[in-house]
Structure 1
Amino acid sequence: MKYLFPTPVMVTSLANPDTLNAALRHVIETRRAGDEGVQRSNILGWHSDSEMLRWGGEAAKTLALECLRVCASRTDDPKMQGGQPRFEFGIEMWANVSPPGASNQAHTHPGALWSAVYYVDDGGDSDASLVLMDPNYPLNRMYAPDLRFVGKDGETFPTQQMFAPTPGRLVIFPSWLSHSVRPSKGPRERISIAMNVTTVPARRGPR
């Protein structure tokens, strides 16, 4: 038995994130105080614009660079010649502040290559909240969606995978992967940062 076409998901934790998270919290709270935010996939809560890299200061840049580093290590360009890449990475970033009961409906991020979620504060709710959904479900099981495939180890294939909002955790996945966020059940606001990593043609010549 072979498993074909796996979906790559990277989960990493930043070393000693307390100082970075404190700085991220400060810029997010400052921005939120003077900005009503936007409505996207969020149900309740505050969703910033996608220009956090511009207004988030050095803390936002530090997080963005770490996300780009991980994505670059897991992206291959088979047509790169002479060590010259055909593409450069771009990144957009936004903040989510979710009070108790807030959530995000299932969605994807068209137009990007990788997407990521970073947790600043779990809001006091350590239960799994980020839900990544099997892109094959329920295409071939619509007539009997409760049936599951069984792997060679005897385990049934899951239709979703969940991740806890651990502060300092960075979860990166393909942007076409459908995902959602379960309602926050903690006593305080959960703070997370989302990112989209895009590609643009590499610039040539002097800059």
Structure 2
Amino acid sequence: MANEDFNFTRRMYFPTMVFQIDLKNPEKLNESLIEKIYNERIRDQKGISRSNIPALGGWHSHNDLHKADDYAEMVSRINQATARMSENLGYADTHEMRIGTMWSIINPPGCVNKAHVHPGCLWSGVYYIQAPEKCGNIEFIEPRTMHLMNQAKFQPNKKRPKECWTKVRFTPVPGRMLIFPSWLYHSVDTNESKEEGNDANRIIISFNLNQVKKPNKKK
């Protein structure tokens, strides 16, 4: 608008950040992880119940995969990503982000993950190992309840600014890692893959992160 008799500035505060990390050449790592995770399911067929729904066929491993040698390379990749995050966010050099829990989920067709948060940690993440088409997007939900209760009207047929979205969906991509605030509500859509057999499964590794104090270096 011309001839305005004021200065107009939009300032942004209190952002909700989601970090996306795309691994280079993840095929060999993913192939190895798929074999290890299926072996894990053989050893622990029942698994545990969290946001998954076992009655639909979804399987959730126990929560300490990061302690097993089989997952050392995955842990190393996560540590590299979180070190970069800490640098980007200006976190204290006296602390580092470390995995507190890590698990795997296998979602066959028909499976979902209910909306949930991850209490007791700072950041949470998901790494996509196998993600056939239509296997279920992850959805993040506006964390401020007031924005869901009282929504503004926007211009029809025009894409609204990202800052005004109330939901965000990511399509899973093998080799992609998403790291997000643990308090951010999220869910996973129904796996509607049309692939055959195990190729239809959505396979991921998830993890929780906290800052821990670095050990003092000996002089």
Using structure 1 for the length normalisation, give the TM-score. 0.83
Q: Deviations over 1:79-105 (max 9, x none)?
A: x5xxxx332322021101001111111
1:61 alignment partner in structure 2:
75
Identity over the aligned pairs, expressed in percent? 32
**CA-CA distance at 1:134 after TM superposition:** 1.1
Is 1:132–2:145 an aligned residue pair? Answer: no
Is 1:49–2:53 an aligned residue pair? Answer: no
Select 1:160's aligned residue among 159, 162, 167.
167
Relative to its length, the structure with more helix (as a share) is 2
2:16 alignment partner in structure 1:
7
Change (3 A) 1:128 1:30: closer
The runs of at least 4 aligned residues of structure 1 exceeding 6 Å deviation read: none
**CA-CA distance at 1:4 after TM superposition:** 2.2
Instruction: Indicate conservation of the 8 Å contact 2:66/2:102, yes or no.
Output: yes
Change (3 A) 1:193 1:141: closer
Change (3 A) 1:104 1:128: closer
Q: Distance in 1 between matches of 2:50 and 2:218?
A: 39
Q: Distance in 2 between matches of 1:198 and 1:149?
A: 39
Q: Distance in 2 between matches of 1:37 and 1:67?
A: 28
* 5+ long unaligned stretches in structure 2: 1-9
* 5+ long unaligned stretches in structure 1: none
Using structure 2 for the length normalisation, give the TM-score. 0.79
**CA-CA distance at 1:69 after TM superposition:** 3.0
Instruction: Indicate conservation of the 8 Å contact 2:136/2:190, yes or no.
Output: no
2:125 alignment partner in structure 1:
116
Select 2:152's aligned residue among 148, 152, 158.
148
Q: Distance in 2 between matches of 1:174 and 1:185?
A: 27
Q: Deviations over 1:114-157 (max 9, x none)?
A: 111110001x2247611111111x32553x4xx23659x97252
2:109 alignment partner in structure 1:
100
Name the Cα RMSD after superposition. Answer: 2.4
**CA-CA distance at 1:71 after TM superposition:** 2.8
